[in-house]
Amino acid sequence: MRTIRLIATRELGDLFGSRAKGIRMLLFVGMLPVLTLVILRLQLARPDYDIARLPTGVLVSFMYTGILPLNFSMGMAALSFASEFESGTIVPLLAAPVRTSAIFAGKLVAALAAGIGLAWFSQGLLFGLFSPMLNRPWPVPLSVTLLMSAGVPVLAFPLVAMTMVLGSRARQARTAQANSTLAFLAVLAVSLLIAWRRPPLTPPVVAAAALGGLAGGAVLLAVGMRLWDREELLSRSD
């Protein structure tokens, strides 16, 4: 656990390098809910707007404010190993007497913590600013709102795991970014398939999808760690 914590802390330190960088990232993520509320306010001002559509529109916006910040997690996971190869810091990490699982776990925890934290920050802003900016009560049931927030980590895990496994095979940032693009295309293909088939989003279907995503992410991580030959990588780095 100590090794995982140290690796995760180092990764987060690299991401948020300075206070100014962290503030810029929070401002960037915070613009999303503010812009969403401005658009909703303009829509509500239209005389032909159907107020019955508001709860659905708010729920979709709440989902997107939680999903889009996960791009930070995927980008961080994709570049995590490649950046160490380019800087040369991968050599002491490969030679260190720590398990491969601890290295992957530390980097995974950091990527997930960054993306999930930013996602919840964005969703919290949308929820907190809704009534002051629109002069209306939050139109989505609180139970559904909490469920959407709880779904962020469930969705993040397989996405970040897939991106990290692909990124672990890369030694250059350009290759890692290409692998990240492949991961994004895979996610996009699945999303388009779901949109085309339109399965009923009943609780059993949602639960099955969540369990499938978690299991798939765990399998990907296990395969990625097994294929990550530290001795071979160390010899190539010398």
One digit per residue, pLDDT tens: the chain, 238 residues?
777 777 787 777 766 666 666 777 888 888 999 999 999 999 888 888 888 888 888 888 888 888 888 888 888 888 888 887 777 777 787 787 888 888 888 889 998 998 899 999 999 999 999 999 999 999 989 988 998 898 889 888 988 888 888 888 777 777 777 777 776 676 667 666 665 665 665 677 777 878 888 898 899 888 888 888 777 777 665 5
| Digit-coded pLDDT (tens) for 50-77 | 888 888 888 888 888 888 888 888 888 8
pTM of the entire predicted model: 0.84
Q: What sign results for the dihedral spanned by CA atoms 77, 83, 85, 88?
A: negative
What confidence tens digit (pLDDT) does each residue in 11-52 have? 777 666 666 667 778 888 889 999 999 999 998 888 888 888
CA pair distance 13, 20, nearest whole angstrom: 13
Q: How many CB atoms lie under 10 A from the CB of residue 175? A: 16
DSSP category for residue 51:
G
Task: Return the closest-CA partner of residue 3 out of 74, 100, 73, 95.
Answer: 100
Domain hosting 229: range is 2-237
Query: How many folded domains does the chain comprise?
Result: 1
3-state secondary structure at position 44: helix
Which distant-in-sequence residues (6+ apart) come within 8 Å of 75 by Cβ? 180
Nearest-angstrom CA–CA distance, 58 and 160: 26
